[in-house]
Amino acid sequence: MASCIPLTKMAEQMNLKNMTPEIDISQIKVHVPDINRPALQLTGYFDHFAYERVQIVGYVEYTYLQGIPMEQKLPIYEKFVSFKIPCIIFTSKTEPDTELLNLCNIYGVPVFHTEKATSNFMAEIIRWMNEELAPCISIHGVLVDVFGEGVLIMGESGIGKSEAALELIKRGHRLVSDDVVEIRKISDVTLMGTAPDITRHFIELRGIGIIDVKTLYGVESVKNNQSIDMVIKLEEWDREKEYDRLGLEEEYTEFLGNKVVCHSIPIRPGRNLAIIVETAAVNHRQKKMGYNAAQELYNRVQQNLVKRREN
């Protein structure tokens, strides 16, 4: 899990205009993925002030401040910026007072401005900060976007995960990560997978070496991140083991407290892994849309048994 976000990274990602260039923001970091609109604080009420959050001043706060005499605002401004605030962001149609900028320079509180509307900007920055500061783990596997479904392929080293991913890429699907997948818990229902920067868009094939998928197959063959919708575990065929042949009961695996549908696929010579993964992804998508082929077959069998009894 990333414990903080450098303010320089946030300013660059959100395309913020720095209104206090005299302040060195290279050492300032944001530690919480929440924002605060300082409504009550601008009236002088500072109890329970969430000063550790990014402060956003929207049009409502701005118009309120415009109607207050400067001698009344100055002590509120000074108390406001005296807290250890990461930064203040003014949205469209708003701009900071000169007196506020002077106090921010004195107390070392950066001030930014964005042209985006308050609601749109808040939604964007909260989503981005939640993703950056989300709990994160790294696992051994291959993540591929198959028909829009994020399929995480897992299994022992050398079992054929990368070869299956390469065949899927040649069939028009997109690689997210090979060998190491970083999984972030965006919410209680969403896991986002991505590749470490150093291995992004590369695949290791035993006997050949490292290949650059983006260079060989084009930009349409890769993707930077993808939600993880299902897991496929590849394992050696075991004659003694009973494998699920109907799929009536869903099996799950868990990452960071979130459950993900999981299928165990036995590997034997001659099995086309890419087609199996592709079919599993389409079938999973069909189930999400309300149709379960296994359940449909079960219902037909039951209906047929009922008809036989009646006859």
Among candidate residues 9, 179, 200, 287, the one labeled active-site is 179
Q: Are 83 and 49 in contact (CB under 8 A)?
A: yes
Whether 214 is catalytic is no
Whether 179 is catalytic is yes
Among candidate residues 245, 268, 307, 309, the one labeled active-site is 245
Give the integer Cα–Cα distance in Å for 242 and 294.
18
Q: Are 229 and 215 in contact (CB under 8 A)?
A: no
Measured at the alpha carbon of residue 66, what is the angle toward residues 63 and 71, in degrees to the nearest 5? Answer: 145
Whether 140 is catalytic is yes
Q: Where are the alpha helices (DSSP H) in the chain?
A: 7-13, 59-66, 70-82, 98-107, 118-132, 161-170, 213-217, 273-288, 293-310
Whether 263 is catalytic is no
Among candidate residues 161, 184, 223, 284, the one labeled active-site is 161
Among candidate residues 140, 170, 206, 300, the one labeled active-site is 140
* Token reading at 88: 């203040």
- What residues are paired with 260 via a beta bridge? 253
Give the integer Cα–Cα distance in Å for 228 and 242.
27
Q: Which of 100, 103, 97, 111 is nearest to 11 (CA)?
A: 111
Give the integer Cα–Cα distance in Å for 85 and 68.
23
- Please list the active-site residues: 140, 161, 179, 245
